[in-house]
Chains A and B, each alone.
Chain A
Amino acid sequence: MRLEFPVAGRDFQAAGGAAQKIKRTLRQIGIDAETARRVGIVAYEAEMNIVIHAFSGKVGVDILPERINVFAYDQGPGIADIDLAMQVGYSTAPEDIKEMGFGAGLGLPNMKRYSDNLVIESEVGCGTSIRAVINLPTKEGS
């Protein structure tokens, strides 16, 4: 099953709505709270990065029997140095965005921390694509 939502750059009114719908749907179909929380956080950070740093894009999930894949892609400026962008504290968010509580430079590190695998691809002047894997807990409960 695939869920996919459009995300508009600089639309702070709608921002976060896609991640919320994703998380709610996961809970409704019986995904455990911890997994839904991890997916929600990854999707939210990806969605906010599109709102803040890109022009427009999509965020969504593919729900598979053993894992959930979160994906996000955008048309935007792209990321020149992905290793640098991944560093805690690195942010190019402008001052007005920082006043809104963003720009800690923690979004990408959070996405890495809450997922089991994170792949970022980006082309400067074109856009950025992100895929994160969140494994569902095994039945034994480990």
Chain B
Amino acid sequence: MQLKDIARILEAEVLTCEDKLNCTVEAACGCDLISDMLAFTKEKMIVLTGLVSPQIIRAAEMVDLSGVVFVRGKRPTPDIIELSEELGIPIMCTHYPLYESAGLLFAAGLPGWRHWPRAVGGSEDAP
């Protein structure tokens, strides 16, 4: 699945880094805690989050994330948009809540990190 498919499925508005819409995404994770995100995501993954904070973008850059989706109609503030452009982390906004967003992507074939053979440390320390 590509980022642009995710935007289509979630009827999301892409706010930054439109040049990366063709990037491949292999898995997704829903998290509202920064340390969870650092523990359970990797490159070629996206995060669905209701947490609107610049630290989401900073953490996303640390794990080489492919993108961040803000759910439930939450709008990132200008400092978040600026940081996402500076660090090259695409962000999009969907009106769907977290649960529906995850369900839609999962139903479309995008797995969670557990199913992903390259997940750090395997599945034994999954949440």
> Taking beta carbons and an 8 Å cutoff, which residues of A are in contact with B?
12-13, 15-17, 19-20, 23, 33, 37, 40-41, 44-45, 48, 100-107, 109-110, 113
Given known A16-B55, A33-B43, contact A23–B62 (CB-CB < 8 A):
yes
Compute how far the CA of A103 lies from the CA of B34 in the bound complex, rounded to whole angstroms: 9
| B23 touches A (CB below 8 Å) | no
> Is B114 located at the chain interface by the 8 A CB criterion?
no
Q: Is B104 an interface residue (CB 8 A)?
A: no
Q: Does the CB pair A101–B53 fall under 8 Å?
A: yes
Which residues of the partner chain A approach B53 to less than 8 Å between Cβ atoms?
A: 100-101
Decide yes or no whether B63 CB sits under 8 A from chain A: yes
In the complex, are the beta carbons of B38 and A20 less than 8 A apart? no
Known contacts A37-B63, A101-B32; A110/B39 CB under 8 A: yes
Bound CA span A104–B63, Å: 18
Which residues from B are CB-within-8-Å of A33?
43, 64
B: number of interface residues (CB 8 Å): 24
The reply to whether B87 and A106 contact each other, CB–CB distance below 8 Å, is no
Given known A37-B62, A45-B38, contact A106–B33 (CB-CB < 8 A)? yes
Cβ of B45 within 8 Å of any chain A Cβ, yes or no, is no
**B35 beta carbon closer than 8 Å to chain A:** yes
Structural contact, B35 and A45, CB atoms closer than 8 A: yes
Interface presence of B36 (CB below 8 A)? yes
Q: Which of A15, A20, A110 contacts B35 (CB 8 A)?
A: A110
> Contacts A16-B58, A20-B58, A44-B58 given: A101-B63 contact, CB under 8 Å?
no
Task: Name B78-127 residues within 8 Å CB distance of A.
Answer: 87, 120-121, 125
Contacts A16-B55, A110-B39, A113-B121 hold; do A104 and B64 have CB atoms under 8 A apart?
no
Q: Which 10 A-B pairs have the closest CB atoms?
A: A106-B35, A16-B58, A40-B62, A104-B35, A104-B33, A101-B34, A101-B51, A44-B62, A41-B38, A107-B35
